[in-house]
Amino acid sequence: MQDDAPPPPAKTGHDLIQDYLKTLDGSPGVYRMLNAQNEVLYVGKARNLKARVSNYARPSGHSGRIARMIHETASMMFLTTRTETEALLLEQNLIKQLKPRYNVLLRDDKSFPNILIPTDHPFPMIRKHRGKRSDRGKYFGPFASAGAVNRTLNQLQRVFLLRTCTDAVFQSRTRPCLLFQIKRCAAPCVGRISEQDYRALIDDATRFLEGKSTTVQADLASAMSAAAEAMEYERAAALRDRIKALTAVQSAQGINPRGVAEADVVALHLESGQACVQVFFIRGHQSWGNRDFYPKTGAGADEAEILEAFLSQFYDEKEPPRLILLSHPVENEDLVTQLLSDRAGRKVELAVPLRGEKAELVENAARNARESLARKMAESSTQNKLLAGLAEAFDLEAPPRRIEVYDNSHIQGAHAVGGMIVAGAEGFLKSQYRKFNIKGEAGAQGDDFGMMKEVLTRRFERLLKEDPDRKTDLWPDLLLIDGGAGQISAVAEIMAELGVDDIPFIGVAKGVDRDHGKEEFHRPGEPPFALRMNDPVLYFVQRLRDEAHRWAIGAHRAKRAKTTTATPLDEVPGVGATRKRALLAHFGSAKAVSRAAVEDLMAVSGISAALAQQIHDFFHDKG
C-alpha cells in the first residue's frame, strides 16, 4: 500500500497574487497583504482592485521594497467600497490601527494648540487651548507649539491689554495686579475699563489675529490724534505706547508672507530611506511656527507616496486650511483633495508652486527639512554607538532597540507613583512613557521593593495579555531599574513568576558616597561593577536614570497637587469642574456649601432645584 503523496506547497508571492486576480473585479476598495504568520505587511487602496493587484502579479519590474513585500505575501484580504474616496479613508484608518511594516506611518499624532477668545463672559480672557473645540468662542490656530502660542499671547498682552487670569482669580481681585502696573492688562477685574471699551480691545485683537494689524494700527493712530486734540493726554500716551508695541511686533514679523493669508507649507526631504517632513503654519498672513515629523517610510517609499500618506494621516483629526503648499506632487491628488475637502467641509487646494512668494515659502520649509534630517541622522548615529557600547558594557547579545527605565516617587508612602520611560535608537520615546498609581499596600508603607513589584507586574501582565507572541515592538530588550541589589532581587522574583526570563535587567545604584558619577551596576547572581568615570556609556545611563527620575517626580507632584486641591464637592454626583468653581466662588469654601440650604444652593448659576436638593442630601447624609 502506497503512502499518500504530500500536499503541494502553499503558494506565495506572485503565484498567490495571480490566483486572487480571478476573484476580483474593477471595483474601488482596499487590500491587505499578509505573511505566513497572518501579520499585515501592507494596506493599500485602489480605484480598480483588479488592475491594482495585477501589478503585484508581475514577476519583475518592482522596487526592492515592493519585491520584498511580494515575496513575503502568503495571503490577501479585500474590502470593496462605493467610492474611491471611501477607499482612501478606509486605507488610512486601517494603517493607523494595524501599523503595517511596509506602509508609511506618521508617528507623531499630537494635537496642536490654539488661541481661544471666549464669548460667554463680559470680560473674556485670552488663553491657550488644546484639544476639541468644545468651548464657546473664537479659535485661532493651529500653532506649531506651546512656545509659539505663548509668544503670541505675550504680544497680545503688550498691545491689547487683555486679561489672562482665570475666572476664579478675576472674581476674587480687589485691586489691580502687577500686570496692570507694567501695562500688560487693562484691569477689568476692578473696573478700570468699561465693558464696551474692553470689547473694543477684543475686536482689535481679533483683527490682529486675522492678519489685519495694519488696519488696527491706523485706528489706534486716529484715536491717539483725537485724544490729543481733546487734551486727553493720559489716554493719548497710553495709545502711543500701544502703537509702539504693535510696531515692534510687526517688525519682528518681517518674514511673514504678504500674498498668503492662510496655508500649511509641507515640505519633504528624503535621504537614505529616512524622511523628514516640515510643516509651517500660516494664518492671517502670519507664520505661527513650524514642526518637523519623521514618518516611517515603509522600507523605501518614494516622495509621492510618503506625502500622500502623510497628508491623509496628519489631517485625520486636524482641520486642513484652504491651501496646502507642497514640495512634491502627491499620488492620487484628486482623491487626497476630495478627502481633505470633505473633512474641512469646504474646498481645500493642493499646490506645488514653482515661482514667486509661495515657492520661496516651500523652499524655506524644504531647507529646514533637509537640515533637521541631517541633525536627526547625526543624533541617531551617536545614539546607535551608545547602544552598541551599552551592549558591550553589560554583555548583551545585541544593542537594545527598546530600553525601559523604571523609578518610583513618594513622600513616606504618600501619593506613591511609579514611572516608566522608554528610549531607543531615536532617543527618548516620550509617547511611550507611562505612569502607574500605586494601588497596593506597598505604597502606603513606603515599600520601594513592593512598589517596583507592583509596577512591573502590571506592565508585563498587560504585555502578556495584549501581545503574548511579541509581534509588536512594545517588548523591551533591556530593563534599567533605579536601585541596587534589593530592587534587582524583587525584579528577578516577579519576572520569574510571570515566566518572562529572557529580558535582561540591570540595577543602577549610587556608589558608597552616593556621588553622581560613581554609580554601581547590579545584575542577578553577579557582583556589582562600575564603569570608568569618563565612559560615554556611563553618561548615557545617567541620562536615562535622570529622565526616569524626572518623570516619576513629576507624576508624584501632579498627584499630590490634585489631592491638595481636592474637596468634598469632588464626590458629589452631578457636580463637575464648572459647577464646583461656581459653588466655591459663591460660598467661599466647601464647608460653607455643605451648610447651605437648598434655596441658597439654587441661587448659584447652573444649580437646578433637583441638583441643589442632591447636594444638600449628600452633605446631610454624610453628617
Task: Please say whether the beta carbons of 283 and 264 come within 8 A.
Answer: no
Q: How confident is the model at residue 254 (pLDDT cuts 50, 70, 90)?
A: very low
pLDDT in tens, 550-601: 998 887 787 776 665 566 777 777 787 778 778 877 887 778 888 888 888 8
Mark whether 424 and 483 lie in a shared domain. Answer: yes
C-alpha closest to that of 312 among 294, 341, 336:
336
410 & 542 share domain? yes
Asked if residue 292 has pLDDT above 50, the reply is yes
Q: Which residue has the higher pLDDT, 243 or 290?
A: 290
- Model pTM greater than 0.75? no
**Domain-located, residue 257:** no
Q: Is residue 123 part of a domain?
A: yes
Sign of the dihedral defined by the CA atoms of residues 550, 553, 555, 558, in that order: negative
My answer on whether 336 and 421 are in the same domain is no
Burial class (CB in 10 A: 0-12, 13-18, 19+), 314: buried
- Percentage of residues in the chain with pLDDT exceeding 70? 89
- Listed in sequence order, the residues at least 6 apart from 590 whose beta carbon sits closer than 8 Å to its beta carbon are 567, 568, 569, 583, 584
- CATH number for the domain that contains residue 66: 3.40.1440.10
- Burial class, 164, CB count within 10 angstroms (exposed 0-12 / middle 13-18 / buried 19+): middle
- Same structural domain, 406 and 464: yes
CATH number at residue 530: 3.30.420.340
pLDDT at 562: 65
User: Per the structure, how many domains does the chain have?
Assistant: 5
Q: Is the dihedral of CA 326, 330, 333, 335 positive or negative?
A: negative
pLDDT category of residue 3 using cuts at 50, 70 and 90: very low
Sign of the dihedral defined by the CA atoms of residues 437, 440, 441, 442, in that order: negative
The mean per-residue pLDDT over the stretch 442-468 comes to 82
Instruction: Give the pLDDT band of residue 399 (cuts 50, 70, 90).
Output: very high
Give per-residue pLDDT as tens, 121-158: 889 888 888 887 878 888 887 888 787 788 888 877 87
Domain containing residue 583: CATH number: 1.10.150.20
Domain that holds residue 199: 114-252
397 within a domain of the structure (yes/no): no
Grid cell for residue 334: 484628486
- Domain match, 248 and 336 both: no
Q: Kindly state whether residues 140 and 97 are assigned to the same domain.
A: no
Q: What is the rounded CA–CA span in Å between residue 328 and residue 487? A: 53
520 pLDDT more than 90: no
Shared-domain flag, residues 178 and 297: no
In the predicted model, what is the mean pLDDT of residues 165-183? Answer: 84
Instruction: Give the mean pLDDT of 223-227.
Output: 76
Going by pLDDT thresholds of 50, 70 and 90, the confidence category of residue 42 is: very high
